[in-house]
């Protein structure tokens, strides 16, 4: 069984559902999808309701009977660790901090963490070709950060985690401790970069942050820059289907978008 973690607040649950459908399309072995969420008193975001996760679980089980979906509300963890942190309101949302608590709640040998704004383009079995037996995490370079931050700065939107190793080294707890005292713009990503001691840099096809290629495993709909015909910073997510088509010129996931409408008629519809 392949273990996958998706996390965030209720606003991005549509992304979690779309990503889950893409996982099931390409990955034919059983998967265990772990969903972590938070709700904190200092931010307006709300946690993903367990009822929504139950709906996703039904869809997953119907499509892949041996697969599983688990739900974790880690609000208490985040409140206890970050209520006095300079990073309690990070550049994006507190929901990005949720993944830092994964070793407290999930037990498995290897875990694939995926941001909610990712989509599978090939089977997750491709990750097994990456040897992380002596490393804490498998990562991909950050497309822009490698120029603006440091040449080996990685993007934490896709992580291949050696769970046994990170529990031995306390990687995620070290990252939490860093964030309790030091303000970072890309808070959890930078903390993981600074706290990690052994990494394997995977080919960019495992976290494709620009154009989809034939061997792309994960497409990440993250923020980017276009310079022509004029300078523009864009941030188009996969649930913004009209912009995915018109601006990004991506049609690879149209069947999944159609399936979402049929399977989740009571959830927010794609725009």
115-131, pLDDT tens digit by residue?
999 999 999 999 999 99
Per-residue model confidence (pLDDT) at position 47: 96
Distance CA 177, CA 128 (A): 31
39-83, pLDDT tens digit by residue?
999 999 899 999 999 999 999 999 999 999 999 999 999 999 999
Per-residue model confidence (pLDDT) at position 194: 97
246 — pLDDT class (breaks 50, 70, 90): very high
Q: How far is CA 15 from CA 29, 43, 209, 243, in A?
A: 22, 20, 16, 15
Percent of the chain beyond pLDDT 70?
Answer: 100
Per-residue model confidence (pLDDT) at position 144: 83
* 2-8 vs 110-114, strand pairing mode: parallel
Distance CA 134, CA 131 (A): 8
271 — pLDDT class (breaks 50, 70, 90): confident
127-152, pLDDT tens digit by residue?
999 999 999 999 999 998 887 888 99
Distance CA 26, CA 63 (A): 12
Token digits of residue 43: 């931010």
Per-residue model confidence (pLDDT) at position 231: 84
With 90 as the cut, is the pLDDT of residue 17 above it?
yes
Per-residue model confidence (pLDDT) at position 148: 80
Distance CA 268, CA 266 (A): 7
This prediction has a pTM of 0.96
Per-residue model confidence (pLDDT) at position 270: 92
Distance CA 246, CA 79 (A): 40
């Amino acid at each position: 069984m392949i273990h996958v973690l998706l996390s965030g607040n209720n606003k991005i649950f549509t992304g979690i559902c779309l990503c889950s459908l893409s996982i099931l399309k390409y990955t034919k072995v059983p998967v265990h999808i772990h969903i972590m969420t938070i709700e904190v008193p200092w931010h307006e975001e709300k946690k993903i309701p367990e009822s929504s996760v139950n709906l996703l679980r039904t869809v997953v089980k119907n499509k892949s009977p041996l697969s599983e979906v688990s739900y974790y509300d880690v609000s208490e963890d985040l409140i206890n660790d970050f209520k006095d942190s300079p990073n309690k309101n990070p550049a994006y949302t507190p929901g990005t901090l949720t993944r830092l608590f994964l070793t407290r709640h999930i037990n498995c040998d290897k875990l694939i963490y995926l941001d909610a704004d990712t989509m599978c383009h090939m089977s997750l079995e491709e990750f097994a070709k990456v040897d992380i037996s002596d490393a804490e995490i498998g990562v991909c370079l950050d497309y822009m950060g490698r120029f603006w931050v440091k040449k080996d700065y990685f993007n934490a939107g896709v992580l291949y985690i050696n769970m046994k190793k990170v529990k031995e080294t306390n990687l995620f707890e070290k990252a939490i401790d860093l964030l309790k005292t030091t303000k970072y713009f890309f808070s959890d990503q930078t903390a993981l970069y600074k706290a990690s001691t052994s990494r394997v840099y995977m080919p960019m096809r495992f976290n494709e942050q620009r154009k989809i290629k034939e061997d792309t495993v994960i497409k990440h709909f993250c923020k980017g820059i276009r310079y022509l015909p004029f300078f523009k910073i864009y941030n188009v997510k996969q649930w913004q289907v009209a912009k995915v088509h018109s601006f990004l010129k991506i049609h690879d996931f149209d069947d999944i978008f159609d399936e979402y409408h049929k399977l989740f008629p009571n959830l927010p519809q794609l725009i």
